Amino acid sequence: MAPYQNAKELSKLTLGKTTEYCSEYNPNLLQAVPRSLNRNDLLLAKNSLPFIGEDVWYGYELSWLNDKGKPVVAVAEFRFDCTSPNLVESKSFKLYLNSFNQSKFSTFNDVEETLTKDLSVTAEVQAKVKLFNVEQCPALEIKKANQNITCIDEEDITIENYQYQAELLEQAQKNSPSEIIEDNVVSHLLKSNCLITNQPDWASVYISYKGAAIDHSILLKYLISFRQHNEFHEQCVERIFCDLQSYCQLEELTVFARYTRRGGLDINPFRSTHISSAPQTRTLRQ
């Protein structure tokens, strides 16, 4: 359990509670969660974060009415800088998007501007919003994985404990030579649980680093240790980033998790020492 799970800031959320669906535009449905909750736990100072990056969301259930009352549908891309004071709580985000269903907007641009304004207020940072026609969304084209990425899921390991264990990484570079390498790996076995509802969250996590080699078997054991861990998507990725930085001697590090969608939304947190924007790529599960 995260030590901040019972924080008063979380008690006000609609997440985990019975709610009514509103189909008329209502920006007041959006709810914020302070990023400081888990960052305090990770001992991260507000003005000296060890990473840059962003949270990229895709919305697949966005619809509104044009001036003649005809429904319009679109796929939406939302980007929030990781330095924003707040993250947008996902259930409230879903309820907010549903509130567009019976509301009239003249153009795609009107909807983009409305979404940008409301989400920027909630996150307290300038949100970036793009809408795509459902038949042409280049950002979501399934692309062949980079040949330089190694999937570590076939490592022959035995797992007996499914509780979060950062200390597993203490041995990750024990037998590594002093040679500095660049390594790009992916695991599709990351699973964590929602901080509030305990619902499972599934993700593919991409890790790229420059430094002494990290043992793939130990890294996989560490990622699997999140299997019964309760945190929001963004918090899990920041925890992975900070653990790797703490236990491993790395010159560069990037952690990018692509979570599967729930309620028409997927969340894809991206954290890096040196890259600010997440790539536009996805796998079959997204």
Question: What is the rounded average pLDDT for all residues in the chain?
Answer: 92
* Under 8 Å between Cβ of 36 and 8: no
Domains with residue ranges and CATH for the chain: 8-139 (3.30.1130.10), 150-272 (3.30.1130.10)
Give yes or no for residue 147 having a pLDDT over 90: no
pLDDT for the residue 13: 64
pLDDT-derived band at 6 (thresholds 50, 70, 90) equals: low
Would you state the structure tokens that stand for residue 205, as one six-digit string? 């996590």
DSSP string, the chain: --TTTT-HHHHT--TTS------S--GGG--EEETHHHHHHTT--TT--S-EEEEEEEEEEEEEE-TTS-EEEEEEEEEEETTSSEEEPHHHHHHHHHTTTT-B-SSHHHHHHHHHHHHHHHHTS--EEEEEBTTB-GGG-B-PPPTTPEE-TT--------S--GGGGGGTTTT--S--EEEEEEEEEEEEE-TTT--EEEEEEEEEEEESPPPHHHHHHHHHTTTT-B--HHHHHHHHHHHHHHHS-EEEEEEEEEEPPBTTEEEEEEEESS--S--S-B-TT-
pLDDT in tens, 19-58: 777 889 999 999 999 999 889 989 998 889 999 999 999 9
55 is catalytic: no
Task: Output the pLDDT for position 146.
Answer: 64
Q: Averaged over 193-212, what is the pLDDT? A: 94
Say if residue 9's pLDDT is above 70: no
State pTM to two decimals.
0.92
Catalytic: which of 82, 194, 236, 242? 194
Residue 194 designated active-site: yes
Active-site option among 201, 215, 243, 266: 201
Is the pLDDT confidence value at 222 over 70? yes
